[in-house]
Chain A
């Protein structure tokens, strides 16, 4: 009899435990799954941040630039910063910041955005690229100083991850380029990003 009571008590405790476990499992399942895009963009932001950490002491070493009447001073600062960045990132290679994961997402975003464009917009974008001589952008390359910078599509920019003010996106043929503005250096490239 005692045995039976003990068993019943044990059965009740066990049942309660199962219920708690089931509830916990259900709670676990109700959690929204982690957003893979968010994770990839966070990783992208970290890589951009790492670049900025490399850049900061180099920018400090060439000095802050205030508006000046001397174009020579502006040029010297830009070239100094470019040389320092290229030397510090001598091992940099395509995809260091535009990793395959972020590249896949960005390419999809850009493709979708391009497919929504009307014909006049597509023509505008083609014209923008027409002004740009053919060249293959490379990591650590100084953007050719005699070439124009193709205007970046105004409605595409808000869809891309934000950048610090020292960096910008540019489109060169089918490449998405990450460019250091003051140094005029190509920081990373992403081929086949833009429909041609």
Chain B
């Protein structure tokens, strides 16, 4: 990351004297009662979400959870069935036109028969005070790509060029829909390093992901979405402790009395002889199990999948917001 953050209009999270105007009452994103229906499918169900300037928020959810529908509606790409959306206090389309919002879309792309530099120049010209080009190139990680034909880019390079387009106007609000989906592991790491730096410069960053690790590593707030609803909303740590649990499985033909009372266990399930314990503390659960039983045939310990966590959360929507304040 090179310097140049001073060129970015932004709001710092910790307001220094004289920056009070940078902590407006207006949320960066305000979604009220958003409902999206495709035919008979309810993609988003009466969803409310408010994001303050300077927050880095992950929308975490499985495929089909309603993340993209929420973000696309927020960006004004379609008219939702119901609900009210404000970005930076304006209608979505007006906020985009004003240059206050940069976005990486899941189905966004680059024009054929062009070079990267031409596209970037075209987009930068659309803004009154675009991000200085040298710093933009360094920040998005597209050094050496400006003369490259767009049609000759790799998947990861393409995503970084799309990031550069999203950043071209130095927008206070960044909306990213699964931005790392076409990237390899190294690319992902570099990308999220960039995101953390942007958040540090005061940009509001909202991104969708189905990787708990990504949400945990980057976001200071995680909103878990499932079946078009907010299932949990809180600090990354709070959400992770709720959905980042483990499952302990083993065969147990006999009675199962007392399993639910073992340390850490939050749920007892399984089919037939198979027992599946969901636990927040796998080690304590195992210790207690081994102490009380002679054998644990077919023992397996694994991280709970996000899908399991979602099923769990769907049963009991939780407001963890207390944990992030």
- A and B form one complex: no
Interface residues, chain A, with chain B CB atoms under 8 Å away: none
